[in-house]
């Protein structure tokens, strides 16, 4: 019976991850683990997100003083700022964030070992209300300004 189970039994699906920013597949054991607070507190990240092909039209509309563009940028901010699980990001974007890379790499290793069921206990605390509003203002009102000709 054990032989039949081995031959016909379900194989455990291999745990995989993809960087939510670049959409790159990550090899097991690689990447960096960040909290949403660390992601939200990055100008480079918001400049990237607000100028991607999918969001550029909202950015152009915003800088042309069209309320619909500003409203969409606010919704985009809320979408990313409300992520409750840790972010596993690739080597190609870790430079966008002002974090301890060694700690983020070590947390990623733990995350891989537990197949995505790890969140650091000592993660930086959630942003306080003032910091949150500061980053929201940057993301919604300023991010991507250099790339838009009005």
**What ranges do the domains of the chain cover?**
13-145
At residue 13, the pLDDT reads: 80
At residue 93, the pLDDT reads: 97
Listed residue (118, 37, 116) closest to 80, CA to CA: 37
At residue 120, the pLDDT reads: 80
For the chain, the farthest-separated pair of C-alpha atoms sits apart, in whole angstroms, at 72
**Whole-structure pTM value:** 0.86
Which positions of the chain have pLDDT values less than 50? none
d(Cα 127, Cα 130) in Å, to the nearest integer?
A: 8
At residue 149, the pLDDT reads: 79
d(Cα 87, Cα 71) in Å, to the nearest integer?
A: 25
Q: How many CB atoms lie within 10 A of CB 37?
A: 17
C-beta separation of 66 from 14 below 8 A: no
For residue 67, give every residue at least 6 positions away whose Cβ sits within 8 Å of its Cβ, in sequence order, or none.
Answer: none
Q: Indicate the helix (H) or strand (E) that contains 89.
A: strand 87-89
For residue 119, give every residue at least 6 positions away whose Cβ sits within 8 Å of its Cβ, in sequence order, or none.
Answer: 85, 86
At residue 126, the pLDDT reads: 78
């Amino acid at each position: 019976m054990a032989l039949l189970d081995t031959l016909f039994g379900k194989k455990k699906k291999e745990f995989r991850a993809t960087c939510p920013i670049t959409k790159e597949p990550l090899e097991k054991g690689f990447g960096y683990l960040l909290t949403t607070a660390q992601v939200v507190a990055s100008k480079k990240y918001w400049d990237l997100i607000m100028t991607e092909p999918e969001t550029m039209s909202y950015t152009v509309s915003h800088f042309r003083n069209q309320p619909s563009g500003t409203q969409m940028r606010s919704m985009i901010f809320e979408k990313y700022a409300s992520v409750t699980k840790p972010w596993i990001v690739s080597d190609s974007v870790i430079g966008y964030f002002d974090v301890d890379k060694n700690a983020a790499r070590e947390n990623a290793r733990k995350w891989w070992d537990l197949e995505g069921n790890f969140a650091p206990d000592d993660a930086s605390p959630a942003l306080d209300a003032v910091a949150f509003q500061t980053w929201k203002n940057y993301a919604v009102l300023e991010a991507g300004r250099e790339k838009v000709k009005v």
